[in-house]
Structure 1
Amino acid sequence: MSDAATEGLRLQAGVCRTMGSELTAQVLEAAAADALAGGPSAALLRPWAQADLKTVMFDAMPLRLAAAIHDLALSGEEPELSAAYVALDPVRIWTVARARIGEHAARLARFMEHEPQTNEVRRSICLLGGFLTVARETGLPLRCFEVAASAGLNLSWDSYRHELAGRAWGDPAARVRMDTDWSGRLPPLEAPVRVVERAACDRRPTELSDPDQRRRLLAYYWPDQVGRLARIRAAIDQAVETGVAVERADAVDWLRARVRPRAGTASVVYHSVFWTYLSAGTQGAFMAAVGALGGEASAEAPVAHLSIEPRPTDLSIMEVRLRLWPGGEERLLAECQPHGAWVRWLA
């Protein structure tokens, strides 16, 4: 097994520990030690046997491995593993998982073939300030278009209750509630917001009516972060009841075909943790498509591009950026933790 694959597991373990999941950190460290010793987990890392560390982390291989094991536990097919996760016991989890990897090798490898789709719903509280800024500066109702939306949980951002710095925005009776450690000034909470259209696409959308796909989404949530799991379960239930839909489409093709400025509304194209999964060529094509929309914008039909993406020099910090046309100047609105645990408003 390559040093890069096992080093990636240890590196991700450190990130998980920093972000509050000691359980996932210990599972990944145990997997790294097992793979180095030629244990059963080495077979699951084989697709990355010759990869360098950059590729291992770009592919999010460690997160795929941790989620594959969690998914097996959530399936109920291995009651002893399920019980270990309920007990939040990382030593027991790895002991049982290691003993079962050989039996479930094909299933686990199949799970790991596809990149993660966390669909972290608390990123909505990070996006909130951007939507409010567009609403205040344009004075128009919003049309919201999310690319790489996974299950589309952040498409319903305006139906959630957001609590920040002793203030709140959204329906007090909302099923999905989220808070964050907010610092800096507040965004324009008083801005009137009305969403008149919303749509989303993903190359491989998560179909929440399918139990296997719903479980896959939950598997990427770290099991010892109980609040995150409760929040996404509430968001999933709401999305199923309200019929949130995500179209299966390539982001660039969908944007070109689906979105045009419309008089009397502000059209907002947005995404979160999408950019790093694109090739340089696709990144260029996407920005060209966004720029073309901006070129069609007017004061009566403005266009915005809102994003949450990792800081290039530090992947543990996300940047909330906004461009609003006419004009199109890029603004850094905020920095935030990848799961929305804290937001530092800079605008």
Structure 2
Amino acid sequence: MKTDRDGNDARYETIDPLARGPEAIRRAFENQVAYCRDNGAPVTASVNRAIGALIDTERGGTVMLRVRKWAGPPLADALPLRLAGGLHALYLSGAEPALAPIYDGLDPNDATRIVAEAIERHEAFLLPWLDGPPQTNEAGRSWGYAAAMLWLADRGLPHDFALFELGSSAGINLMMRRYRFDLGGVTVGPATSSMQIRPEWRGDPPPAAEFDIVGAEGCDIAPVDLTDSDQALRLKAYIWPEFTERFMRMDAAIEAAKRFPPEIARMRACDFVERMLAREPQGGVTRVLVHSVVWQYVPQDEREAIIAAMEHAGQQATAESPLAWISLEANRDTHRHELTVRFWNGSDGGSEWHHLGTAHPHGAWVDWSGA
């Protein structure tokens, strides 16, 4: 991976997300450096650049040996973020103070050596971080759910929504009924909330409608309990250290979970959708499937099953009991996160995805189109 110290030479290249092998591993790390750099995360870019520089060396012990011999698709598996999360956890826990120059943003000349030594000293701690995908639950992304529900309500769907979220992680977005949103001047939610979601808004505001969340359930193959300090630390480790506001939102979410924890089922996404759709629809309520930065981690066969199940159920939807689908996911071609919506209400067949906007991956800014 050839980059200067600022990562300015790192290039993001669109590749097959299922590509495997040594070149795919190198490309995954270079893409991650470019992605972090372009999204205002130079520290995280530096960490990934240092890890990537170890690929063609013999440093890093068993951890880097496993990275070099990664059997799965490194891009789809988010391999760079798995190890970067483990290193951040070491720093946050105080177990590896030598990482401080990197996380303090000093961009040391010997970052690769610092990272190599940290990896070698903490093999037993870091190896489990390679066993599963990152948990990137982020309250700032709930802006997309809120804006999409305003748009759906403006289209005539019932203003009472029952949320069903895929990949809920710790369920932070399931608690959004307790959050306050300011979306380009359109406000919704309790004004006294400790969780204030206020992205920089570009373009026209969303419709000034109203909505209420009358139910919120989620699923995850490995749910996170925010009330457990070790699990909360793991979730914080996946927050890019540059974004201090995200840490404040996480602390607010932890306090909210202590008072009334979210409802999360430990199950596969396709099984959760099947269970959701098997229930008798409630009149006057819009059932809505939601997910943010999750779809890429869902296996292809499950994705196909979910699409088929939603389209079949959509054909049975009515104006009184509609069905909707809100997606806030990365477009691998444009390198942007896009908010898109489908809905079925008896007159709209749901065949069309409506593109409502693009956004920063953690909700710092929103470019609203509302098409």
TM-score, length basis structure 1: 0.90
Q: 1:95 to 1:162 in 2, by over 3 A?
A: farther
1:273-297 deviations in Å (ceiling 9; x for gaps): 1211123221110111212321221
Corresponding residue for residue 25 of structure 2? 5
Q: 1:193 to 1:254 in 2, by over 3 A?
A: same
Corresponding residue for residue 162 of structure 1? 181
Once the 2 structures are TM-superposed, how far is the Cα of residue 235 of structure 1 from its aligned partner?
1.7
Corresponding residue for residue 330 of structure 1? 353
Corresponding residue for residue 273 of structure 1? 293
What is the distance in 1 between the residues matched to 2:353 and 2:242? 37
- Residue in structure 1 matching 2:126, options 90, 94, 108: 108
Counterpart amino acid of 2:39? Answer: M
1:335 is paired with a residue whose SS is strand
1:209 equivalent in alignment to 2:232: no
Counterpart amino acid of 1:179? Answer: R
Once the 2 structures are TM-superposed, how far is the Cα of residue 161 of structure 1 from its aligned partner?
1.9
How many residues are matched?
Answer: 342
Corresponding residue for residue 28 of structure 1? 48
Corresponding residue for residue 18 of structure 2? none
1:77 is paired with a residue whose SS is coil
Once the 2 structures are TM-superposed, how far is the Cα of residue 220 of structure 1 from its aligned partner?
0.6
1:75-119 deviations in Å (ceiling 9; x for gaps): 2333x2475577444438765443232231122011121101101
TM-score, length basis structure 2: 0.85
Q: How does 1:284-299 map to 2 (within 5 A)?
A: 284-299=304-319
What is the distance in 2 between the residues matched to 1:93 and 1:121? 31
What is the distance in 2 between the residues matched to 1:298 and 1:188? 23
Is the 1:5–1:45 contact (alpha carbons within 8 Å) kept by the matching residues of 2?
no
2:74 is paired with a residue whose SS is helix
1:126-149 deviations in Å (ceiling 9; x for gaps): 222111122332234111111111
Is the 2:186–2:206 contact (alpha carbons within 8 Å) kept by the matching residues of 1?
no
Is the 2:99–2:115 contact (alpha carbons within 8 Å) kept by the matching residues of 1?
no
Once the 2 structures are TM-superposed, how far is the Cα of residue 192 of structure 1 from its aligned partner?
2.3
What is the distance in 2 between the residues matched to 1:97 and 1:147? 34
1:297-322 deviations in Å (ceiling 9; x for gaps): 111111111111122422x2112111
Segments of 5+ residues of structure 2 without an aligned counterpart are 1-20
Q: Percent identity?
A: 32
Counterpart amino acid of 1:130? Answer: A
Is the 1:271–1:306 contact (alpha carbons within 8 Å) kept by the matching residues of 2?
yes
Counterpart amino acid of 2:143? Answer: I
What is the distance in 2 between the residues matched to 1:3 and 1:149? 32
Corresponding residue for residue 344 of structure 1? 367
2:187 is paired with a residue whose SS is strand
1:246 equivalent in alignment to 2:264: yes
RMSD: 2.3
1:162 is paired with a residue whose SS is strand
What is the distance in 1 between the residues matched to 2:69 and 2:29? 15
